């Protein structure tokens, strides 16, 4: 009898998404919970996106624009690239999968940093790729070690900058040296889902490196700084040869109409973006000060979340805080059994997190 499920798929562990607040409250019989687990925007979605979506709901009986022309046009104007070099997907997750689907052949190698976004490995394994994992150094991506891991069989390298879940980021010079040291036939996916939150002036977008490395793919998302996670829409920048290959594989209507409308309007919402960034920076300053007072170890971040080491361990801390109605993300699934990841929330949510942490530890 033929094997029903491909062997490479049988070996996969499903991605552990954070549960919605409503589901957790129903399971535990609690109310008034706060969710600081999924790096969502605490302010909610862009108001301009909400207005545009509301005004266009009467058109959802129609198929969306298969090529997302107007969204690509606005992205091209905003970032100074031709539309032919812009990708749009059902979240950045789909774009990651499309890169693997389009270019990875069975048994070719994919290099990823340790503790990276779990879907890099999941997608690569699902297409029979061989995973090479490179340890971090002080919770940062070790680019020199990743170079050493490259072989004649390497096809794709993933780098997330800033890194999820550690929140650390690489400077432009580091990434440029890394790209220059790679063989010219290796595809590099630079995942910049959190780049807008970076405050270090040395951390700049990989967009500036696209012309010097044709096999670079720079990914972004509308989920975080624009607050559109529920719409599932991401975008990316690359060379025409990479984009042309991906467009052969992707579904024709991969980004729904409502997502395109919302994203198009969100790109004009500079006031909302500024408000979001200010909120995150003020929230981090408060949280750092309180954690310093309490003597906790944490990793300073370039994102809207941070990694916190807890003496109770990841799962025990998660469970105790959950019972108090505070939802954080245990990092044991990432191999970090002593850490939780905490999203910066509204001021009152940050204060509740600190109070709850003190309570469960004591």
| 270, burial (CB in 10 Å: exposed 0-12, middle 13-18, buried 19+) | exposed
Higher-confidence residue: 219 or 117? Answer: 219
Model pLDDT, residue 105: 96
Model pLDDT, residue 118: 87
Distance spanning both ends of the chain, measured CA to CA: 58
- Which structural domain range is residue 108 located in? 47-266
Three-state DSSP state, 268: coil
Q: Residue 7 has which token pair?
A: 């062997």
Three-state DSSP state, 354: helix
| 130 pLDDT more than 70 | yes
Q: Name which of 301, 354, 303, 255 is nearest 41 in CA terms.
A: 303
User: Has residue 198 been placed in a domain?
Assistant: yes
Q: What is the mean pLDDT of residues 21-36?
A: 80
Q: Give buried/exposed letters for 104-132 (b at 16+ CB in 10 A, else e).
A: beeebbbbbbbbbbbbbbbbbbbbebbeb
User: Has residue 171 been placed in a domain?
Assistant: yes
User: Has residue 194 been placed in a domain?
Assistant: yes
d(CA 203, CA 303): 12
Per DSSP, 39 falls in state -
User: Has residue 4 been placed in a domain?
Assistant: no
User: Has residue 11 been placed in a domain?
Assistant: no
Q: Are residues 259 and 316 in the same domain?
A: no
Q: Are residues 60 and 180 in the same domain?
A: yes
Give the pLDDT confidence of 258-290 residue by residue, as tens digits: 999 999 999 999 999 999 999 999 999 999 999
User: Has residue 1 been placed in a domain?
Assistant: no
Residue 12: pLDDT band with limits 50, 70, 90? low
Q: Name which of 118, 45, 79, 77 is nearest 236 in CA terms.
A: 79
Q: What is the mean pLDDT of residues 9-30?
A: 72
| 155 pLDDT more than 70 | yes
Model pLDDT, residue 215: 98
Q: What is the mean pLDDT of residues 200-226?
A: 95
Query: Among residues 223, 251, 266, which one ends one of the domains?
Result: 266
Q: Domain count for the chain, please give it.
A: 2
- Phi and psi angles of residue 136, each rounded to the nearest 5 degrees, phi first: -80, 165
Give the pLDDT confidence of 171-188 residue by residue, as tens digits: 999 999 999 999 999 999
| 87, burial (CB in 10 Å: exposed 0-12, middle 13-18, buried 19+) | buried
Q: Are residues 260 and 278 in the same domain?
A: no
d(CA 27, CA 24): 5
The domain spanning residue 143 has which CATH number? 3.40.640.10
| 320 pLDDT more than 70 | yes
The domain spanning residue 299 has which CATH number? 3.90.1150.10
Q: Are residues 105 and 177 in the same domain?
A: yes
Indicate the range of 67-71, 283-287, 306-310, 332-336 predicted with least confidence.
332-336
Q: Are residues 28 and 56 in the same domain?
A: no
Q: Are residues 301 and 201 in the same domain?
A: no
| Helix (H) or strand (E) segment spanning residue 310 | none
Q: Are residues 320 and 345 in the same domain?
A: yes
Residue 18: pLDDT band with limits 50, 70, 90? low
Mean pLDDT, the chain, rounded, equals: 94
**Is there a contact between 329 and 346 (Cβ–Cβ < 8 Å)?**
no
Model pLDDT, residue 20: 73
Model pLDDT, residue 19: 66
| Helix (H) or strand (E) segment spanning residue 47 | helix 47-55
Query: Among residues 221, 249, 266, which one ends one of the domains?
Result: 266
Max distance between CA atoms of the chain, in angstroms, equals 63
Residue 344: pLDDT band with limits 50, 70, 90? very high
Q: Are residues 348 and 252 in the same domain?
A: no
Q: Are residues 84 and 172 in the same domain?
A: yes
User: Has residue 174 been placed in a domain?
Assistant: yes
Indicate the range of 21-30, 113-122, 210-219, 229-238 predicted with least confidence.
21-30
Q: Are residues 52 and 40 in the same domain?
A: no
User: Has residue 141 been placed in a domain?
Assistant: yes
Q: Are residues 136 and 228 in the same domain?
A: yes
State the CB neighbour count (10 A cutoff) for residue 170.
22
Query: Among residues 251, 266, 281, which one ends one of the domains?
Result: 266
Q: Are residues 68 and 193 in the same domain?
A: yes
Model pLDDT, residue 25: 75
| 247 pLDDT more than 70 | yes
Model pLDDT, residue 322: 92
Q: What is the mean pLDDT of residues 9-32?
A: 73
């Amino acid at each position: 009898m033929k094997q029903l499920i491909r062997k490479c798929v049988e070996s996969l562990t499903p991605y552990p998404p954070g549960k919605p607040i409503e589901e957790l409250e129903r399971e535990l019989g609690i109310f008034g919970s706060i969710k600081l687990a999924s790096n969502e925007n605490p302010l909610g979605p862009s108001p301009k996106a909400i207005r545009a979506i509301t005004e266009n709901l009467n058109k959802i009986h129609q198929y969306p624009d298969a090529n997302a022309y107007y969204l690509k046009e606005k992205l091209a104007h905003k970032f100074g690239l031709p539309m032919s070099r812009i990708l749009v997907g059902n979240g950045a997750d789909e774009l990651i999968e499309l890169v693997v689907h389009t270019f990875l052949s069975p048994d070719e190698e994919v290099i990823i940093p340790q503790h990276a976004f779990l879907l890099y490995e999941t997608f690569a394994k699902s297409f029979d790729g061989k995973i090479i994992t490179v340890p971090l150094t002080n919770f940062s991506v070790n680019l020199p070690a990743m170079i050493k891991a490259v072989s004649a069989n390497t096809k794709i390298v993933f780098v997330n900058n800033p890194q999820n879940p550690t929140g650390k980021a690489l400077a432009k010079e580091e990434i440029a040296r890394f790209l220059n040291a790679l063989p010219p036939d290796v595809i590099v996916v630079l995942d910049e889902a959190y780049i807008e939150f970076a405050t270090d002036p040395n951390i700049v977008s990989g967009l500036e490196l696209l012309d010097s490395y044709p096999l670079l793919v720079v990914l972004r998302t509308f989920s975080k700084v624009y607050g559109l996670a529920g719409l599932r829409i991401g975008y990316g920048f690359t060379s025409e040869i990479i984009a042309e290959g991906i467009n052969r594989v992707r579904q024709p209507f991969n980004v729904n109409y409502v997502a395109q409308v919302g994203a198009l309007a969100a790109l004009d919402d500079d006031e909302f973006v500024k408000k979001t960034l200010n909120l995150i920076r003020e929230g981090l300053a408060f949280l750092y000060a309180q954690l310093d007072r309490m003597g906790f170890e944490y990793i300073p971040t370039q994102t809207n979340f941070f990694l916190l080491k807890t003496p109770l361990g990841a799962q025990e801390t998660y469970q105790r805080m959950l019972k108090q109605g505070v939802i954080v993300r245990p990092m044991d699934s990432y191999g970090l059994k002593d850490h939780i990841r905490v999203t910066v929330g509204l001021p009152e949510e940050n204060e509740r997190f600190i109070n709850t942490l003190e309570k469960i530890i004591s």
